[in-house]
């Protein structure tokens, strides 16, 4: 099989490359990224690289043509590219997330690709405040105050239109919870904590953890998620798949991982007000929409992935979080431009 991975240099892209390189049925592997690794990179980045910015300004045609050339002869295209930062540059985010997805779909159709596997998110779902697991039929209306969620919803509408117009293109929508791994520590630190929160603070020196009351989240290890992508590719499946590791993370669970911190639950509206001020002041790298999303996402029922993909995650949500926290504290990363370790950025 020939597989092309768009957004192959990031957190999930790294894990997907790592897994696909181990699969003997995949004989040709291409990575597409805005910032491709330089020179001859080490594993898992030792694949054929195509540099392409899917959210580039200007006409669609040059981008679609470049992607279609990269997709030629592919049995499957995996679309992972996404922009969270810069969080104040909304136009750029939508260009990458929504327009970029449409360009990937158009290029796949032009190149005659039979299978498209897309990274969606738990963020595509509408609010649910109970702990009853929701399957893939739960409404994909999103959380309107979260830019991330709004773009995930619109991304799936692009996929809806593609399925209507091109029934021969099989599309799989992977809807994971939070995606964690050790090697993404420094990148995730930069995206969500920023320079004013030292990563080393998580190395046993967090005396108090403020936590929004009532918030609970799920997580999945990037390697487990990559295994689900591999199964989706080789089985050539269609449809949506919820993906999360065992366990639900609440305030006490997170406090136990973050250096055995003392927990203080705080009203979400109070944290939201503070985050809004900090974001406008350019102190916090993300805005209050992320808190709104965390307070609203449903608990995922992953039984379809287990049944159709034979998926069995190896890591619990708490274990994936522990890896991430250790990675943030140590400034962990790789040689890939988005995932550069702290010592390589200095």
pLDDT tens-digit map of 33-53 = 998 877 789 999 999 999 999
The single residue listed with the structure tokens 């990563």 is 199
Query: Cβ(321)–Cβ(219) under 8 Å?
Result: yes
Backbone angles phi, psi at 218, to 5 degrees: -115, 160
Residue appearing with tokens 């988005």: 338
d(CA 241, CA 215): 23
CA–CA separation, 40 and 36 (whole Å): 11
Residue carrying the six token digits 């690794």: 37
CB atoms within 10 A of CB 43: 9
Share of the chain above pLDDT 90, in %: 90
- All structural domains of the chain with their residue ranges: 2-179+219-245+298-313
Cβ atoms of 96 and 55 within 8 Å: the answer is: yes
Burial class (CB in 10 A: 0-12, 13-18, 19+), 50: middle
What pLDDT does residue 37 have?
78
Instruction: Return all residues near 233 (Cβ < 8 A) that are at least 6 apart.
Output: 1, 3, 20, 26, 75, 76, 78, 115, 117
- Give tens-digit pLDDT for 270-322: 999 999 999 999 999 999 999 999 999 999 999 999 999 999 999 999 999 99
Architecture per CATH, domain 2-179+219-245+298-313, reads as 3-Layer(aba) Sandwich (3.40)
Nearest C-alpha neighbor of 15 from the set 228, 170, 186, 233: 228
What CA–CA distances, in Å, run from 282 to 121, 274, 286? 26, 12, 9
- Read off the tokens for 58: 């200007």
pLDDT score of 160 more than 90? yes
- Beta bridge mates, 49: 31
pLDDT, one tens digit per residue, over 135-150 is: 999 999 999 999 999 9
Q: What's the full length of the chain, in residues?
A: 346
């Amino acid at each position: 099989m020939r597989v092309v991975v768009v957004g192959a240099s990031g957190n999930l892209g790294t894990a997907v490359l790592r897994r696909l390189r181990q699969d003997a049925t995949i004989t040709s592997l291409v990575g597409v990224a805005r910032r491709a690794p330089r020179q001859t990179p080490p594993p898992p980045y030792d694949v054929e690289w195509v540099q392409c910015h899917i959210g580039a300004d200007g006409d669609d045609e040059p981008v679609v043509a470049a992607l279609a050339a990269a997709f030629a002869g592919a049995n499957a295209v995996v679309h992972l590219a996404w922009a969270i930062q810069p969080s104040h540059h909304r136009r750029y985010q939508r260009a990458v997330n929504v327009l970029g997805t449409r360009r990937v779909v158009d290029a796949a159709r032009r190149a005659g690709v039979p299978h498209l596997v897309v990274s969606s998110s738990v963020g595509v779902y509408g609010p649910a405040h109970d702990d009853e697991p929701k399957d893939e039929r739960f409404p994909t209306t999103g959380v309107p105050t979260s830019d991330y969620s709004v773009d995930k919803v619109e991304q799936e509408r692009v996929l809806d239109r593609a399925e209507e117009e091109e029934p021969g293109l099989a599309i799989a929508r992977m809807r994971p919870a939070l995606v964690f791994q050790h090697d993404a520590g420094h990148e995730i630190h930069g995206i969500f904590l920023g320079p004013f929160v030292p990563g080393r603070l998580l190395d046993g020196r967090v005396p108090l953890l403020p936590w929004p009351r009532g918030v609970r989240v799920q997580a999945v290890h990037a390697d487990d998620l990559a295994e689900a992508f591999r199964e989706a590719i080789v089985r050539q499946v269609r449809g949506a798949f919820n993906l999360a590791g065992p366990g639900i993370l609440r305030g006490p669970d997170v406090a136990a991982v973050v250096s055995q911190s003392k927990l203080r639950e705080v009203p979400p509206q109070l944290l939201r007000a503070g985050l809004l001020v900090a974001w406008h002041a350019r102190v916090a790298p993300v805005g209050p929409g992320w808190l709104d999303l965390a307070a609203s996402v449903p608990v995922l029922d992953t039984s379809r992935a287990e049944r159709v993909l034979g998926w069995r995650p190896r890591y619990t949500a708490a274990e994936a979080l522990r890896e991430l926290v250790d990675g943030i504290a140590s400034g962990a990363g790789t040689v890939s431009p988005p995932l550069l370790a702290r010592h390589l950025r200095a």
